[in-house]
Structure 1
């Protein structure tokens, strides 16, 4: 699902406050109540916000992610821009680890014409995509298969990835909090992502604008442990200054 500028701004407004009334949003954006209701209904159906009588609030669950099929459609255009920006920065003839996530899968599609890559992944979708690149060696981690998104997790996955040291570890994330904490929902997935960070010479994070100020239960790392952040919208406070102070290079993949 691709949001228009007003819907994106509305989503960010609710996320910054935690909740808002329909009347308040209509006044702020200078549109009718009917227009706001249509926008919030669309965002609620996508799992990005939750409706209550007379208003809307941030989706409350910190323990369960949006369903995989829904995430595939969310902000597809922004994820495609991020994927193109990442792929243009990946040199040919390098080694990478790609983890779980719909943005990471989009990046795999953009690497289809790269040559001389060696990719380690715990994502069967990524492995399936890159298997069609004849000049890319794909190494699939062992472990427990998570059927809902074909991710591979668990102690066996951690152990397998620990054998390697790659040029670039490329990870997705469920949420980036205002203090720079990176969070996700499944502690098993987090342990694998943590291992990827520790076994990569450079760590690249791909996160669209919806991930900022989004809450999740399990702490993965701090943004200061990332070398590059690829996103689809200009950063807002406090993230811009936080990344600058942490020495993180930010690439905004604009249209």
Structure 2
């Protein structure tokens, strides 16, 4: 790690920040303070300046090269993004399914990788809102699939609405495996569709434990629909691209964070 003189020029600091962003995709204020040997006030002013120049986007505790506010994209478009990370996360999530378990699986590309990796021990009951998840696991003789009904969202190949929410009132599951579009330390968990966010809240209420499956690109992002605050979940499974600073903050909030090497 290069330690800069505290009197390093404005231009040198900005070059260092943009170089770190280009290399890692995101940076944290605490890390930049150590690397540049300056105060957090100075770093935040630097980030504000660079954001005003449209060279980065500020996030909670840092900055990113990509816009942290997420729009709705189709599952077909998203399935190939971070596929190695999603595969590893899906494998680990599937290992948490116990014999004779009753679980909920929400929609999204990361939970689809979970579905691909389920090797049931004993009989397992799966409730899901995602049509692609239901089709993927339907061939397993040891899995009973309960498909939630409602209005189908074409972008996510999943259902939403009052019918799906009403069905959930009749069930209590051990675990919910939930994919999200954004994880923000202040704002919480979000998805790009408000109806899906509402259904996700009902799913959380129907499960004894909520496990978030999210690759590291989801941290520091916000989508339109808020699902819940971070205290509404128990565990996050992600990959080693996540900032150690973020992991520390999540653990300080009482969350179990599983970081997988990819």
> If the length of structure 1 is used for normalisation, what is the TM-score?
0.76
Distance of 1:202 and 1:120 partners within structure 2 = 15
Distance apart, 1:123 and its partner CA: 0.4
Instruction: Give secondary structure in 1 for the equivalent of 2:185.
Output: coil
Count of residues in Structure 1 that have an aligned counterpart in Structure 2: 214
Long gaps (5+) in structure 1:
1-5, 18-52
Out of 229, 242, 250, which is 1:243 matched to? 250
Distance apart, 1:56 and its partner CA: 6.5
1:11 matches 2:18: no
Distance of 2:107 and 2:99 partners within structure 1 = 22
The 8 Å contact of residues 182 and 220 in structure 2, kept in 1 or not, is answered as yes
Out of 126, 145, 165, which is 1:119 matched to? 126
Distance of 1:248 and 1:199 partners within structure 2 = 19
Name 2:210's counterpart in structure 1: 203
Distance apart, 1:64 and its partner CA: 2.1
Distance apart, 1:234 and its partner CA: 5.6
Name 1:158's counterpart in structure 2: 165
Give the direction of change, closer, same or farther, for the CA distance of 1:252–1:237 in structure 2 (3 Å limit): closer
1:188-222 deviation line (CA, Å, top 9, x unaligned)? 10011000111101111111001001121121111
1:4-33 deviation line (CA, Å, top 9, x unaligned)? xx99943224xx69xxxxxxxxxxxxxxxx
> If the length of structure 2 is used for normalisation, what is the TM-score?
0.74
Instruction: Give secondary structure in 1 for the equivalent of 2:111.
Output: helix
Instruction: Give secondary structure in 2 for the equivalent of 1:93.
Output: coil
Instruction: Give secondary structure in 2 for the equivalent of 1:203.
Output: strand
RMSD of aligned alpha carbons: 2.5
The 8 Å contact of residues 103 and 175 in structure 2, kept in 1 or not, is answered as yes
Give the direction of change, closer, same or farther, for the CA distance of 1:55–1:239 in structure 2 (3 Å limit): closer
Long gaps (5+) in structure 2:
1-19, 30-52, 58-64
Query: What are the within-5 Å matches in structure 2 for residues 90-109 of structure 1?
Result: 90-109=97-116
